[in-house]
Amino acid sequence: MENHEPVEDVIAALGYLCLGTRFKRLGERLQAETVSIVSAQSGSVPPSQLPFLAAIDRLGPLTVGEMAQAIGITQPGATKTLLHLAKLGLVDMSQSREDRRVRVATLTATGQDLVAQSKASVWKQVDAAARELCKGLSGTLLDQLDTIEQRLAEKPLREWGKP
């Protein structure tokens, strides 16, 4: 017999025991919703790769190791993403002058243009939406996660932060 009652959110119900899973679930949801905002303006660059461009913009040329550290991922992950961005013509990968074994990532002119456009529009929109989504949160961390998930169920991220 089918049960037509809402199914319990077990991850939320288990509280702190599943905190990591809950963060991952919320992060994946936010990233997926950000895609709808970003993809219209940044073309073939997924939102998960924009922090790489932002890191180079903020910090200047970075070695693969420095990028991994700045983004908080493994070196192989940084290498893979940087090579993809290089194929898209957004990043230039060159050998370090000090150590020929080390590769340094810099923004190309196209990458600089994309960052400038993104800063002026998409990044502001995503930032404003996330700020409004999180505005007025109170209570425990779990209460705050409940509120964020409830708000996202009511309306998607792209509808938050609009004047």
Domain with residues 44-108, CATH architecture: Orthogonal Bundle (1.10)
pLDDT at 122: 85
* pTM for this predicted structure: 0.78
pLDDT of residue 47: 77
The whole-angstrom separation of Cα 6 and Cα 28 is 22
Cα–Cα distance for residue pair 125/36, rounded to 1 Å: 12
Per-residue pLDDT tens digits of the chain, which is 163 residues long: 566 788 899 999 999 999 999 999 999 999 888 888 877 665 667 778 889 999 999 999 999 999 999 999 999 999 999 999 999 999 999 988 888 888 999 999 999 999 998 888 888 888 999 999 999 999 999 999 999 999 999 999 999 988 6
pLDDT score for 62: 97
Q: Which residues of 113-145 are buried (b: 16+ CB within 10 A; e: fewer)?
A: ebbeebeeebbebbeebbeebeeeeeeeeeeeb
Domain residue extents for the chain? 8-42+121-163, 44-108
Pairing of strands 91-95, 62-63: unpaired
